[in-house]
Each structure stands twice: as structure tokens, then as C-alpha cells.
Amino acid sequence: MTSHRRPEGGSAIDRDDTVGFTVDGRQYFGLAGDTLAAALLANGVRVMGRSFKYHRPRGVVAIGVDEPNALFTVTTDGVREPNVRATEIEVFDGLAVESQNRWPSLDNDLMAVNQLGGKALAAGFYYKTFMGPVIGPLKGTRFWMMCEHVIRRAAGLGRPGTARDESRYERINAFCDLLVVGGGLAGLHTALEASEAGKRVIVCELEPRWGGGADGKKESEIRQIVDSLESKPDVTLLNRTTVWGWYDGNTLAATERITDHLRTAPEGAPRHRHWVIRTGHVALATGALERPIVFPGNDRPGVMLADAGHRYAETFGVLPGQHLTVLTNNDSAYQAAAALRHVGANIRAIIDVRPEIGAGAQRLADRAGGALKLGHAVVGTSGAKGLKTISVARYNHQTKSFSGGSEQIETDCLLVSGGWSPVVHLASQAGAQPIWDEALQAFLPPDPDKHWSVHGAAAGDLDFGHDLSPAPAPVFEIRHPGKAFVDFQHDVTADDVRLAHQEGFRSVEHLKRYTTLGMATDQGKTSNIAGLAIMADALKMPIPEVGTTRFRPPYTAASLGAIAAERYGDLFPHRLTPMHDWHTDHGARMYAAGHWERPESYNRTGETVEQAYVCEAKIVRQGVGLVDVSTLGKIDIAGPDAAEFLNRVYTNGFAKLPVNKARYGLMLREDGFAMDDGTTWRLAKNRFLMTTTTANAGKVMSHLELCLDVHWPDLRVHVTSVTDQWAGAAIAGPKSREVLASCVTGTAVDNDALPFMGIVHGTISGVPVMICRLSFSGELAYEVYCGAHHGTHVWEALMTAGKPFAIAPYGLEALGTLRIEKGHVTAAEIDGRTTARDLHLDWMLSSKKPFVGSAMMDREGLTDKSRWTLVGVVSRSGEKLHGGAHVVAGDRDEPGASLGHLTAMAFSPEMNAYVGLALIEDGESRIGQHLYAADPVRSQTHIPIEIVSHHMVDPKGERMHG
């Protein structure tokens, strides 16, 4: 293969540093500083990809983020990254990439038969067929799904993998006065000026190198500015950093690529860093992108953007071909031609659709050499795997007519320039419409406001050098028979655009959706303008009236890993109770409850969870057990109006609660449904400690704060979350008092000193504790609270004191069993849809005072007799019940309608049966009925049950009061 590398030149490459890399296992060599595209071009490789639909062979057309064709999969440590543009992959020794969307190989892709579908595969064809037969085995959606299966495999680009990506992604927050997007000359100058005025500046440039599209002659100027910026403490220069999203409040998102181009990453360095930049002002200096012209055969490998060809030579010392031709509608391509000639390229011809050109262009044409064919156009190309010849005909771009025959020119690279489109994407993300500029035949950014400005080429300030005009002739398509591509990657042709028009899909947004124009990985950077120009032509409307499709983040695709940085995997936030290590050291299986981790059960070797929890529950009912309740929400409520405040937020009264007593309370939402329950302890006249369920701790806290700040600012009450301050352990069981008596000092714990719902203060093993006698299990029980740093110490002291009584720790499962037996409710029953009455908590609804929810709780929907109410359920067959099973009246074959469902189940050692709680239609009246618990989705069981009162064990509460 011929080398296309010039003997000299190439600002980015290091000629002394040869690197080896592989494509589909085949070895190539490039130079350090090369992109994959440059290195492959240097190796004479032309086919770098296959298109989406027709699997046509494609070469590289661009040099940057607008590249639609040359996509590869990069695999690092077994993790695949599909669809990476060859123009963005920096080669290093050992780089291994894979081509995509081809089988068996890039050069010979059997899927290319799709091309034979030709016109039948035109836009919208999917919608018109594949409906399948209306009868028979393929009716309904079957036939389509069969076809879809094949279509899906043909579609898609690169193949993703299944191996976990172990790379590190990091996030960082930044603040500045000025964010400069784009490190070309315009951006660098803007940054310099601002930094000299003392501003805090961040400059982001997506390329590795500074300077953007600037001419090679500007290198020292660029170096100087960069050096000067680097020396300023308040300037942050970020290369390989793409600003991709502009969000409200001048918050911008950027991705910095830190290690992708390195063979080995430095310790601690993330692969990508997600920058969230909050800035006073944004300076957009994002440059302009050259756009191609649509003409038949324009997708043959070897057809390339003129500026790209120019820059491959200048930056990488690579010629895009041996015999070059140029097709243009504007002056900028003359510069490219002249520059390429200067580095030794052979320019065969310059074909310009314009009948005449200015002196500047003429001078460059003379320098470039080759035939200058004004008023001509390319009407076709040929070449099997790459461009060999082009056909050129005389063309009048005003009348769009051809004259004379066509002439063949041999060329292996056609450089095309269809004019320039300023990069308006970011400015338009927030919704502002870009503005059409008739002279430039391009959209310019909308009018800036005080939050942003736009500079350089992005502002339409296209300066190609003196004597050259930035204004192109308004030619977007050379219409001539043959497949002419508008969107390369998605194989959208000019005829597809016209077909969309013909079928009524005339809005640009319809055009996009019907043809998929602009929906590929390049998001239409090379195709959108041509597409809408062709539509405008069909509609006989000016381009601005057709408008553009909406710009959306991200500007270029951003890795999911970067955006998710530090929010997944082992960095997911979690909270541990003070006794966490003790639990895990003693065999506890931990259970993820929101942010918290809680012991589920303590599994002695070989035990199942059920064996463990039954054993633990038995120990509590018969002896004594200890459970960690530290995760309960705890709120300190203080102030002269604290009791009044509680009266308003709880359904029941708190004003008369004596000091050192606790009370069970229920809260409703404003709409009258139950919200949360818990006990509240009066520690002093004006000081309460409220507990909430673990799950609702945050919600209740905010609710209280809202009530105080928004509804009742006149109340003198302070609320403070003290959840973390206290470790809590509930000691429960007939022996619990004896255990406490043996270890608590400073207070008595007998029934007189510590009656039901009483509170005392004492010490355990030298540590101050607060003890409240209350019971969730229904047994004689106490909650022992101490400072969290003392949690393990007190827990261990209780375990030691309990040893003579065979104390055992119990987990959430056993706790659940005990409360089910007692008919105590939790989140499974207070599920946001139940009322106090449904849960038999209507005794807590005070009629003496209004409270949150009182005005709404008696509406017909909340008092309807057929509502589901809480009952107990006992398995009559001894079979295991399942939470989530439904209660039905009929047998397995004809279960009938659901009457409600089991909210929770457990094996009750006390009743020696599987029991549960259920919410069922008119529950009260069904007590004593024999029904079934049906779980068809999971266990397929259909278990005979008896409906009982939800108070299954010790309904009178004698044990806990004892």
C-alpha cells in the first residue's frame, strides 16, 4: 500500500515515535499524535465504516466531531466502547480497535445486499408493510416481531459488551466568571482578554490541541496565548473537554477525557471527568463546521470535506489522496487546494458551481494548479471500494440545469466544500431559534443576552484570508440521477427527503422522524442544512421559514459513566447504625432499606432465614431478645408551643401527656389518608422526642418544618433531626425487665418506676441511657437509647447482662413476625392509600381538635363501607402464606374477584401457624370466614385461610402492660 504520509509537516505528530495498533487484528503503524483516521489514511486505508441501513462502504469525510462514517469499537480490558469516531481516537502503542456493522469484514460485508432493496427501502417503508396476516399463527404482532428480530440484528452500529466497566469516572464542580467554549483563536483571545481583566476563566477545548481551525502560520501566536493563560492562577485550561450541555442558570456540563489516549493511566486518574460548570457568562467560540454538497455518488470513500483534507495534511502530514479534485460553492476550498498543493499534492481539478470567482480565489486556483472548471458540477462518481473517477458536467446553479455531456476525471480524492455552518448548537439548546443569514447561507446563533456572547467563526465571522469571500453560492444539492446522500450514516438520500415531502411529512421535524435524517451519532452535523434546503426547495419556501430541528444536549455523545460519576456502584450513599459491625460479626444478613442497612436475621450456620427468624421470635416471646432500632427517625421538638404543635400534626392529643411519658401518635396527610406513625416522648414540659418510621423520617421532618415555616409561623417551636445522635435498641420479652434490672443503674425499672409508656434515665455500664417502656412486639419491652458513639458498648452490655436469660439478637424478619401477630401496622399497611379507619386506628382520631387531615378524612371515598380494612389471616392447611397474595372466595379453578391482599406474612411460633395481615373489602364483617390466599404469580399456591381479627396474639395487651 502506498504511504500517504508526507516526508515533512504535521504539527501534531512526533516523527520519532512510531506506534503500533491493530484494526480487526491487523497490525498498522502510525505516529504519536495521530488520530486513528489520520493513521489509517497514512496507511492508505479508505474504507473505514459501513452505513447503517444499506451497509455501504464508507470512508472518513471529516476530521473532527462531525465525522459520520468512520466509527470503530475500542476495547480496553475487555470492556467495549462502540461507535468511537476515528477522528477522535488518538493512537498509542497497543491500541486495538474493531470495525463495525459489517459481516464478515469491513471490506466484504454481506449485509450490503440491503442496497439491492433500493427504492423499496425508501423512507417510511417500515410503516407500510410487515403487518402480517390477520389470521393464523402469525396474526397479531407475531409476524412483525419475527421480521423485527432480523431487522434489529441488521441495525445498530457497534456491539456493546457485558463485562462490567471498572474504569473510574469522576465528577467535579467548577465556578467561574467566564466559561469559554472552544480553544480556537477566537476563544483563546476572549479568554486572554477576560483573564487580563482579572476574571476567573475556564476554557474548554474538545480537541487535544489548542488553536482550532487556525492556519498553521498562527502556531506561535497560539502558543503565546496559551502560555500566558497557563501562567494565570485564575484560569483553568481544559483540553480534550467537550462542553455538551447548557442547562438553566448558566450551568454547563462538560466531559473531560483523561486517559483514553494513554496506554497506561496514572494512579488515581479517572477515565473521564464530568464537569459541572456554573458560570456568570458563557463565551461561545465553537467555530464553524464545513458542510458537504449532496450529489450522486457523494458517499464513495475518497470524498471528503475540503477543510478536513487540508488539515489532515497540515496537522498530521498525511495527504488524503494522490490525485485530488475539489468541488466547491465558495472560496474557502481554494485555500485548501493551494495549501495541499504546497505540501506536494497533485490537484487535478477545481470544480466550482459558480460561473465566476473573485481575484483571491483565482490567485489560489493558479497556485493550486489543475483545471479550473467554473460553472461545473460533479454529477456522479465511480470506483468499487473507493473513488476512482468523477463525472463533471456544465451546470447553471441558478436554473439548476446541466448542459453538454459529462467529462470523467480520474481522482482518488474529491474534496468538497458546501459552505460553513457556525456551531450554534449550545446556544440553541435552551430553545432560542438560530437566525438564518442569507449571505453566509447559514444559521447564526440567536441574539445573545447578558449571560452569553459568541465569538469568531461561531458568530459567522468567517475569515478565510484577504480577498476571499465567506459567502457561498446557495447550492446544497446537485440534482442528477443517482443515489445522493444527505445523511451518510443513516443512508438518507435526497430522494427520501422529497418522498417525505410528497407523503405530507413536510415540517422539518416530520422530515427528521420520517426519514431519520439527523438522528445518527453525528446528530446531523453534516446533513441537517442540506436536508432542510432540499425540503425548502420542494416546498418552494425560503430556508428560514422551514426552520431547523430542535437542538438538544449533548452536543456530542457523552459517556454514561461520566455523567453518572460517583453515584453508582460502591459509591452509592449508604448509612450504617452504630452497631453495624457487631451485626455483621454475628452472622447477620443485612437488608438494604433505602440508604440504611439493617439486620434481617442472624443466621447461625446452615439455617434458612425462616428458621432463623422463627427461632428469634420464639426467644422474644418466651425469653428476651434485642433488636437494633437506631434507624428510626428521631426529631427533637422544643419550645413553648411544642405540645400545641403536636396536637396539630397528630390525630390524637398530646397536650396532656405528662413529662416522662410517651404516646403512640398517628399523622395524616392533608388529604385525610394516613401518613406515618410513631411514638413521641415528653422529656420535659416543652421538649419532646418524636420517632418516625425509618422510611418516612425525611418526609416527616420536612412536613413538620413546612408546617412551622409556612402554615404556622406564629408557633414557637424548634425542630431538629437527631436521628444520628441516638443509638436505639429494643429489648423485648418476658425477661426483659430482669435483664434491665441487672444492668441499669441510677434508676429503678420496676412497674412503678417504669410503667407502660414511662421514661427513665439511668446508666448502663457507665454510659448514660434513656429508657422508654413501649412495645412493638407486644411483649414486655423497652427501648434503650444512648449516644450513638456508645451504641455498641451498651448493646454489648445488654447482651452480657442478658446472657443468663439466654438473650439473643433478632432482626427485621423476627420483628415483622412479632408485629404481625400483634396486628401492628407498618409501611406495608400505611401505604399511602389507607385511612386510619382502614387500619382500626380510628380510636386515635380526636374529635376535640382539628389536625392535619381532619377536614378531609370523612369524605365519602374515605368512609365507604366496602373499603379494604385490616384483618388477620391464618393458614388453615399449614401451608406457607405469601405476602402479596390476594384473598379470594373461590377455589383455584374459579377464584373470583380479588377481595384484597396480604400485606405481610410470617410463621407464628406463638400460634404454630402461618399467619398474615391483610387489607380486604369490608374486612370487619368477614372475620370468621373461610377464604383463600391465592398467589398465582409466584408460588401458585391457593391456600385455605381463616379471616381473624388483626390482634392475633394477646389482644388485650396484657403482656406488654404486665
Partner 1 sequence: MAEPFISTPVITDAAESPLVGHYEQGTFGNLDRGAQVTLTERFPLAICDVFAWTGSETKSANAIKRATKLALTKTRDAVSEDAQAFRHAPGRWTVIAIDPALPETLTTAVGDNATVVDLSHGRTVLRIDGGQSRRVLSKLFPIDFKSDCFPLEKGIATKHHEIFAQIQRVGDDAFDIIVFRSYARAFWHALRRSSEEVGYAVE
Partner 2 sequence: MIIACPFCGPRDLSEFTYCGDADNLAARPDPAATDQAAWNAYVYDRTNPAGEHAEIWQHSGGCRKFLRVVRSTVTHEIESAEMVGPKA
Partner 3 sequence: MQIAGGVPKGLSSMAEYSALSIVKNALTGNRDWKPAWRKPEPKPAYDVIIIGGGGHGLSTAYYLASEFGVRNVAVLEKGWVGSGNIGRNTTIVRSNYLLPGNTPFYEHSMKLWENLSHELNYNVMFSQRGIINLFHTPAQEDDHARRGNAMILQGVDARFVRPPELKRRVPALNVSGSSRFPILGGLEQPRAGTARHDAVAWGYARGADRRGVDIIENCEVTGFVREGDQVTGVETSRGRIHARKVAVAVAGSTSRVMAMAGIERLPIESHVLQAFVTESVKPCLDTVVTYGGGHLYISQSDKGSLVFGGDIDGYNSYAQRGNLPIVEDVMSEVLELFPAFAKLRLLRSWGGIMDMSMDGSPIITRGPLPGLYLNAGWCYGGFKATPASGWCFAHTIARDEPHPFNAPFTLDRFHRGTVIDEKGQGATPWKH
Cell of 269: 486518574
For residues 96 and 75, the answer to whether their CB atoms sit within 8 Å is yes
Provide the grid cell at 908.
407464628
Residue span 796-835 as binding mask against ligand NAD, x where in contact by CB under 6 A, dash where not: ----------------------------------------
Q: Kindly write out the interface string for residues 155-184 of this chain, putting x where it contacts partner 2 by CB under 8 A and - elsewhere.
A: ------------------x-----------
CB of 226 to ligand FMN, least distance (A): 35
Query: How far apart are the C-alpha atoms of 28 and 40, rounded to whole Å?
Result: 8
* Residue 147-186 contact track with ligand NAD, rule CB under 6 A, x = bound: ----------------------------------xxxxxx
Instruction: Give the phi and the psi of residue 395 in degrees, each rounded to 5.
Output: -145, 135
User: Does 573 sit near partner 1 (CB under 8 A)?
Assistant: yes
By the rule CB under 6 A, 531 interacts with ligand NAD: no
Residue 431 binds to partner 3 (criterion: CB under 8 A): yes
Here the cell at position 858 is 370523612
Torsion angles phi and psi, residue 141, rounded to 5: -100, 0
Site membership for partner 3, residue 564 (CB under 8 A)? yes
Task: Provide the mask over 846-885, with x wherever binding to partner 3 is found by CB under 8 A and - wherever it is not.
Answer: ----------x--xxxx-x-----------------xxxx
For partner 2, the closer CB: 418 or 853: 853
Point out the residue whose Cβ comes nearest to ligand FMN: 519
Segments in 489-542 forming alpha helices (H): 494-502, 508-515, 528-539
Smallest gap from residue 127 Cβ to partner 3 (A)? 5
Instruction: Report if residue 321 touches partner 1, rule: CB under 8 A.
Output: no
Which of residues 196, 572, 658, 843 is near partner 3 by CB under 8 A?
A: 572
b/e map of 143-162 (b: 16 or more CB within 10 Å)? bbeeeeeeeeeeeebbeeee
Choose from partner 2, partner 3, ligand FMN, none: what does 348 bind? Cβ within 5-8 Å by kind: none
Neighbouring-strand partners of residue 900: 887, 920
Positions touching ligand FMN (CB under 6 A) are 509, 519, 523, 550, 552
Task: Say which entry of ligand FMN, partner 2, partner 3, none residue 250 contacts (CB below 5 to 8 A, set by partner kind).
Answer: partner 2
Q: Is 698 in the site for partner 3 (CB under 8 A)?
A: no
Shortest Å, Cβ 533 to ligand FMN = 19
Give the residue carrying C-alpha cell 370523612: 858
Dihedral angle, C-alpha 609, 613, 615, 617, nearest 10 °: -170
Q: In the window 673-702, what residues touch partner 1 (CB under 8 A)?
A: 683-687, 689
CB of 37 to ligand FMN, least distance (A): 23
Nearer to ligand NAD, 239 or 346 (CB): 239
Binding partner of residue 495 among ligand NAD, partner 3, ligand FMN, none, CB cut-off 5 to 8 Å per kind: partner 3
Q: At what angle are helices 185-196 and 219-230 packed, to 10 degrees?
A: 30
Residue 205 touches ligand NAD, criterion: CB under 6 A: yes
For residues 803 and 814, is the Cβ–Cβ distance under 8 A?
no
Asked whether position 80 contacts partner 3 by CB under 8 A, the answer is yes
Residues numbered 421 to 450 that lie near ligand NAD (CB under 6 A) are 423, 426
How many residues of this chain interact with partner 2, rule: CB under 8 A? 25
Q: What is the b/e burial string over 668-698, where b = at least 16 CB atoms within 10 angstroms of the residue's CB?
A: beeebbbbbbbbbbbbeebebbbbbbbbbbe
Q: Is the Cβ of residue 550 or residue 656 nearer to ligand FMN in the bound state? A: 550
| Among 456, 728, 791, 802, interactor with ligand NAD by CB under 6 A | 456
- Helix, coil or strand: residue 171: strand
SS3 925: helix
Measured in degrees and rounded to the nearest 5, phi and psi for residue 563 equal: -70, -30
Among 77, 267, 860, 893, binds partner 1 (CB under 8 A): 267
Provide, rounded to whole angstroms, the least separation between the CB of residue 21 and ligand NAD: 23
Kindly state the smallest distance separating residue 431's Cβ from partner 2, in Å.
Answer: 8
Strand (E) or helix (H) holding 149: helix 142-154
Site string for partner 1, 648-667 (x = CB under 8 A): --------------------
Q: Compute the least distance from the CB of residue 453 to ligand NAD, in Å.
A: 13
Residues of span 645-664 touching partner 2 by CB under 8 A? 648
What is the C-alpha separation between 189 and 526, in angstroms, rounded?
28
Could you tell which of partner 1, ligand NAD, partner 3, none binds residue 56, using a CB distance below 5 to 8 A set by kind?
Answer: none
From the list partner 2, partner 3, ligand NAD, none, which binds 148 (C-beta under 5 to 8 Å, kind-based)? partner 3
SS3 assignment, position 903 = strand
How many angstroms separate the Cα of 322 from the Cα of each of 9, 34, 343, 449?
17, 20, 12, 48
Q: Which stretch binds partner 1 (CB under 8 A): 171-179, 343-351, 472-480, 809-817?
A: 171-179
Contact between 261 and partner 3 (CB under 8 A)? no
CB-based contacts of 567, cutoff 8 Å, min separation 6? none
Amino acid at 793: H
CB of 406 to partner 3, least distance (A): 22
Q: What are 125's three cell numbers?
A: 417503508
Nearest to 908 by CA among 819, 821, 827, 780: 821
The conformational region for residue 587 under phi > 0 = left, psi -120 to 50 = alpha, else beta, is left
Grid coordinates 476554557 are at which residue?
203
Q: Which is nearer to ligand FMN, 71 or 657 (CB)?
A: 71
Q: At what angle do helices 642-649 and 697-706 cross, to 10 degrees?
A: 110
Cβ atoms of 835 and 672 within 8 Å: the answer is: yes
What is the closest distance, in whole angstroms, from the C-beta atom of residue 543 to partner 3 in the complex?
A: 18
What is the C-alpha separation between 443 and 460, in angstroms, rounded? 9
In the complex, what is the shortest distance from the CB of residue 899 to partner 2, in angstroms, rounded to a whole number? 29
SS3 120: helix
Contact, 298 vs 391, CB < 8 A? no
Cis peptide before 554 (omega within 30 of 0): yes
Report what 577 binds from ligand NAD, partner 3, partner 1, none; CB cut-off 5-8 Å by kind.
partner 1
DSSP states of 355-415 = S---HHHHHHHHHH-SEEEETEEEEEEE-SSS--EEEEEEEETTTTEEEEEEEEEE-SEEE
Residue 250 interacts with partner 2 (CB under 8 A): yes or no = yes
Residue 407, φ and ψ in degrees, nearest 5? -115, 140
Contact track, partner 3, 158-197, x by CB under 8 A: xxxxxxxx-x-x-x--------------------------
Task: Give the CA dihedral 703, 707, 710, 714, nearest 10 degrees.
Answer: -150
Q: Which is nearer to ligand NAD, 228 or 751 (CB)?
A: 228
- Binding range to partner 1, per CB under 8 A, among 552-560, 719-727, 875-883, 945-953: 719-727
565/169 Cα distance (integer angstroms): 5
Element spanning 580, H or E: helix 580-585
- Our finding on whether 574 is near partner 1 (CB under 8 A) is yes
Three-state secondary structure call for residue 658: coil
User: Which residues of the shown chain bind partner 1 in the complex (CB under 8 A)?
Assistant: 170-175, 200, 266-270, 276, 278, 566-567, 570-571, 573-578, 581, 595-596, 630, 636, 638-640, 683-687, 689, 716, 718, 720, 722-727, 761, 765-768, 770, 785-793
User: Which residues of the shown chain bind ligand NAD in the complex (CB under 6 A)?
Assistant: 181-187, 204-207, 212-214, 242-243, 285-288, 307, 420, 423, 426, 456-458, 462-464, 555
User: Which residues of the shown chain bind partner 2 in the complex (CB under 8 A)?
Assistant: 173, 247-251, 278, 648, 670-671, 702, 705-706, 708-711, 713, 850-852, 854-856, 859
